[in-house]
Structure 1
Amino acid sequence: MGGGGSALRVCAEHRGGINWLSLSPDGQRLLTGSEDGTARLWSAADGQCCALLQGHESYVTFCQLENEAAFTCSADRTIRKWDVLTGQCLLVFRGHTSIVNRILVANNQLFSSSYDRTARAWSVDAGQASQEFRGHRNCVLTLAYSAPRDLPGAPFEEEAAAGGLLVTGSTDGTAKVWQVASGSCHQTLRGHTGAVLCLVLDAPSHTAFTGSTDATVRAWDILSGEQLRVFREHQGSVICLELANQHVYSGSADRTVKCWLADTGERVRTFTAHRHSVSALKYHAGTCKCPWPCPDLPSPPLGPCHCPSQSLLALRQTLPAQGLSASPPRFPP
């Protein structure tokens, strides 16, 4: 953190702002989705454009890159699957009736959220919707998934454990926990007084963290629906969240990022550098040899210290009227 940085590579062939980017699991490729209605694949090694993904009829809202396939969603109400080697469109997922806001590929399924007030589950290989999650009273914005292996057996329902749980956040001020196998709502998480813009899931502890326009981050038990903690120090909407090493990082319209202890809600540090809203962040763990006591951790680490002061926190700010960064959700009239 701190200090200026120089660009290693510049990828500059889009004709519109970049709304989202995704790095492949193997780190070899970068996928960008743009206002110009296209996505592009780039080589992470040299920054060269490998493939132009054309077919969407409106701007690309989000993208996810796997090692063998790329996925994009758009304001044209569709989701597309692409071959990462040829750039060919392999599948078009149709069914949403409004802008598709987010997608998530997990457990050989694709999950999507939309301004049509629904989330959906799809077969990654067939492109057919296998489940619809209907119950939010407004736009569904953000998604997280807990696989069956992360869920307990008894006393939790076998049906829920079989398909896992999907957690969604909405502009109606709630988050919902859904049983993927049945499509039924398991819990509604109520407490926010504004739209839920972002969420992250700590699957082993069955804890969801949500960020909202009410300037708070909240922690929830997704099995019981209980609100566990409220993180209250932000002065603007919480736009993005990251969970790493038992710390929660929150980026806000108040131009700061805050680091919190996940299990207590205690604020550890505030990062102040940006001149505009922070709309995306990414944590990269580093190692340090700082002697105990480390100023950033409440107890001695079991291995190398992965403390925030010795790690890299990549922050992205919203630059008004320039469209150069990952965009926070847009709300239709």
Structure 2
Amino acid sequence: MRKDTKHSTPTGHTKSVKAITVTPDRQRVISASDDCTLNLWDLTSGALQLTLMGHKSGVTAVTVTPDGQRLLSGSEDGTLRLWDLATGITISTLLGHTGEITAIAVMADGQQAISASDSTLKFWDLYSGILLRTLSTHITSVNAVTIAADSQWVLLGCNDGTVKVWNLTNNDSQIYTFSGHTKSVTALALAVDGQTGLSGAEDGIIKLWDLMSCTELKTLTGHTDLINALILTPDRQRAISTSNDNALKVWDLESGQVITTFIGESALRCCSIAQDNVTIVAGEESGRVHFLRLESA
């Protein structure tokens, strides 16, 4: 059994924190907010190091390239910005979407990225800033995107309650659809080996999938409102979820039971975990960023 304790809750954002991520070197945390800024935090101390300004609308998505040198962010106004993490300077602004960016992901080689807005996916060359191609999913709006480590598969969480799997190496063809949710799919997570996935929905339900056999393994119940973010640990033994019910939950996937719960003062919109599998950061509707740590009971 394990428990979590709040490490610190620094202030820095004035509006809701929509997305959060930890750099690969486990040194920094980047939070993205409706206040149009991104904040860089020291993971150990929780100290605010730098604020990135440039977006004209709320920042809805953020990710770091595998080499830890660049940051990609997406905004409500449909723009993406690529930043130099060492200097905090914008490298390029990527234009092409007309609606809010709902999800972004960087491929394993760090050279290309995918962004989602409405029912389209756009593929970008991060070095040139050029739009490579647009994929129309011909489905309802895409709320969440995650890419397998080999960059061959992409999972889409859709408004119609389905999780769709696309093969990016076979003419961008849709391979199969998971139909288990009755409400809009709002969050996704994928194991490092690409064999196991998690999906969370508007009704607070989380499902664990075996992507190789296309079967549902478990349904996790405990949240009472929309799931905002999901994490699957590399060993596939635990999952972490945040919800509009103000809760962050850590799950044991073998039993399907909650190990521990952290309650914020408002909706917890996003979360990320460092590669030590112990340090968790979560962003709140209030603008707070929580630094949490899993400790043995």
1:20 corresponds in structure 2 to 19
Q: Displacement, 1:211?
A: 0.7
Task: Give the conservation status (yes or no) of the 8 Å contact 1:30–1:44.
Answer: yes
1:279 corresponds in structure 2 to 269
Overall identity of the aligned pairs, in %: 26
Equivalent residue runs for 1:21-170 within 5 Å: 21-42=20-41, 47=47, 49-50=49-50, 52-66=51-65, 67-107=68-108, 108=110, 109-114=112-117, 116-135=118-137, 137-148=139-150, 164-170=152-158
Equivalent residue runs for 1:236-247 within 5 Å: 236-244=225-233, 245=235, 246-247=237-238
Q: Secondary structure at the match of 1:81?
A: strand
Q: Which of 315, 320, 324 is residue 288 of structure 2 equivalent to?
A: 324
Amino acid at match of 2:256: E
Q: Displacement, 1:257?
A: 4.3
Q: Give the structure, 1 or 2, with the largest relative contact order (CA under 8 Å, sep 6 or more).
A: 2
1:216-273 deviation per Cα after TM superposition (whole angstroms, max 9, x unaligned)? 21122334533333223443333322222312233334444444443x4531535264
Mark the CA change 1:314 to 1:205 in structure 2 (over 3 Å): closer, same or farther.
closer
Amino acid at match of 1:23: V
1:160 corresponds in structure 2 to none
Q: Secondary structure at the match of 1:95?
A: coil
Amino acid at match of 1:132: T
Q: Which of 132, 157, 162 is residue 174 of structure 1 equivalent to?
A: 162
Task: Give the conservation status (yes or no) of the 8 Å contact 1:278–1:315.
Answer: no
1:199 corresponds in structure 2 to 188
1:266 corresponds in structure 2 to 256
The alignment of Structure 1 onto Structure 2 pairs a total of residues equal to: 280
Task: Give the conservation status (yes or no) of the 8 Å contact 1:57–1:76.
Answer: yes
Which structure shows the bigger proportion of residues in helix conformation?
1
2:293 corresponds in structure 1 to none
Which structure shows the bigger proportion of residues in strand conformation?
2
RMSD: 3.1
Gaps of 5+ in 1: 149-162, 287-310, 327-333
TM-score normalized by the length of structure 1: 0.71
The structure whose Rg is larger is 1
Q: Displacement, 1:3?
A: 5.9
1:300 corresponds in structure 2 to none
Gaps of 5+ in 2: 291-297
TM-score normalized by the length of structure 2: 0.79
1:226 corresponds in structure 2 to 215
